[in-house]
């Protein structure tokens, strides 16, 4: 049985899952038709943008998706895209990479390593579950991994995911997605769009 403690509120497996399911479905039920349409195709469109950048800057698609993913923590999508463009522009021109992103040098070093040809799995540790899932879903719209960013976490449990709860939140999102006939990233994207509007 999964047991987790969230700031003094202790819940156990089934009860916790049901509570998260209710919270996720509440946001899903608040979606607009446009949010659902856009969210269902969000990762496919993100993949298209990544492929465009790859062609423009003459960099492999997998590398562009990786740079985008490692620069994504703490960034809104629009800023994440701009950061990636700035990094790729500098790389293409042979200039030093600009310091971008929310966490500065730490993630920029990962971007530099990817652009230098280091392997994705050597650059991004297994503990970076969200970043790995984000890249995978952008590269493959059929991906069944779950991206639990701060928005998904707040939607499911009311706050950012404490250590040890990523898999619990991911499992709840995957289960609800399955009930709705969606792949997990479609539910995550639709509810992300809805959550941003409601916040």
- Determine the average pLDDT of the residues in 30-45: 97
Structure tokens at 135: 């890249």
Per-residue pLDDT of 50-89, as tens digits, reads 999 999 999 999 999 999 999 999 899 999 999 999 999 9
- Spans of all domains in the chain: 3-30+144-198, 42-139
Number of C-beta neighbours around residue 117 at 10 A:
8
Each residue's pLDDT tens digit, 131-156: 999 999 999 989 999 999 988 999 99
CB pairs under 8 A, 24+ apart, for 97-103?
Answer: 100/71, 101/71, 101/73, 101/74, 101/75, 102/73, 102/74, 102/75, 103/73, 103/74
Predicted confidence band of residue 161 (pLDDT cuts 50, 70, 90):
low
pLDDT of residue 181: 96
pLDDT value, residue 101: 81
Helix (H, G, I), strand (E, B) or coil at 5: strand
């Amino acid at each position: 049985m999964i047991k987790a403690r969230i700031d003094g509120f202790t819940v156990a497996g089934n009860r916790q899952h049901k509570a998260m399911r209710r919270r996720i479905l509440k946001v899903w039920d608040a979606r607009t038709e446009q949010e659902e349409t856009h969210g269902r195709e969000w990762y496919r469109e993100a993949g298209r943008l990544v492929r465009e950048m790859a062609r423009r800057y003459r960099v492999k698609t997998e590398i562009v998706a990786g740079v985008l993913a490692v620069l994504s923590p703490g960034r809104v999508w629009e800023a994440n895209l701009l950061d990636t463009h700035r990094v790729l522009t500098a790389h293409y021109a042979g200039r030093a990479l600009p310091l971008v992103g929310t966490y500065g040098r730490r993630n920029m070093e990962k971007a530099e390593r990817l652009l230098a040809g280091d392997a994705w799995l050597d650059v991004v540790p297994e503990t970076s579950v969200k970043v790995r899932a984000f890249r995978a879903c952008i590269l493959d719209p059929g991906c069944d991994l779950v991206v639990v960013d701060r928005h998904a976490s707040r939607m499911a449990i009311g706050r950012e995911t404490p250590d040890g709860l990523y898999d619990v939140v991911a499992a709840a999102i995957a289960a609800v997605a399955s009930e709705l006939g969606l792949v997990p990233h479609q539910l995550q994207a639709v509810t992300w769009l809805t959550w941003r509007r409601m916040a």
